[in-house]
Amino acid sequence: MSRKEKSKKSNYVSRTPGKDGRIPYSDAENEVWHDLITRQIPMLDGHACKQWIAAMHEMNFPKDRIPQLKDVSAVLHEHTGWGVTGVPALIGFNEFFQLLADKRFPVATFIRTREDFDYIQEPDVFHEVFGHTPPLTDHRFASFVEAYGKAGLAADPKDHFMLARLFWFTVEFGLVQSDSGIRAYGSGIMSSPGELIYAVESEVPERKPFDPVEVLRTPYRIDILQPIYFVIESFDQLFELANSDLLGYIKEARKLGMHQPRYEAA
């Protein structure tokens, strides 16, 4: 979520659609998408959860070009009533929460340059579309993201940074238990080859059973491999979370106090 804050400045400018509603990406931009997606897909087996892989097949992303937002929205709407909305790379909390509450996922429409091919700190269209949209075809996941947006609109602004932690450790960097072991579903993992292997295979990070209060007490940094991941039992747990008192969890976390960071300050 902190990646959406206006206080940070983006080095990229999002693209705007033409009169036909489509963005005229260049051949070079489409080639970057092709190289990113064809690198990432072979890594999913054994690392991504089966729900995410099935959802990716439902999305049926083209490999030779960047998907158009209206085509992405059409698939999501058919499954869960969701869609995507093009936005600048960085937006404020209130706009972010409102879009999610309206079942519209914000998508920065630029794609990274070759210089940022392996890592880009701000969200680009590959992270947003490839990483974020597949699980939105699952009603349990989609319900959680919608409930999260509504909780954000109702929250005191001083609690926005705590809600950012909830988003970070689920939608962005969540892991899930499976019959085959721990697998990934968070977009920050799914769109990064390095973090995908690290999150699932490495013995370095701590993997903790998901607890919303513990998540809200746990700080994070956006520019490092995560020292802590939280593991849900299944997407059913996210659906249960969607129907719980998210703001009540914030009050409980504040009473208990925040955990010390497990990383050096930036």
Q: Could you list the active site residues?
A: 127, 132, 172, 191
Residues paired with residue 232 on neighbouring β-strands, in sequence order: 176
Distance between CA 251 and CA 257 in Å, rounded? 10
Residue 219 parent element (H or E): none
How far CA 178 is from CA of 47, 51, 155, 192, 234, in Å, comes to 11, 10, 33, 21, 8
* Structure-token match 């050096």, residue found: 264
Q: Edge-to-edge strands of the sheet including 181-184? A: 181-184, 175-178, 228-232, 206-209
Residue 6 parent element (H or E): none
* Structure-token match 């996941």, residue found: 141
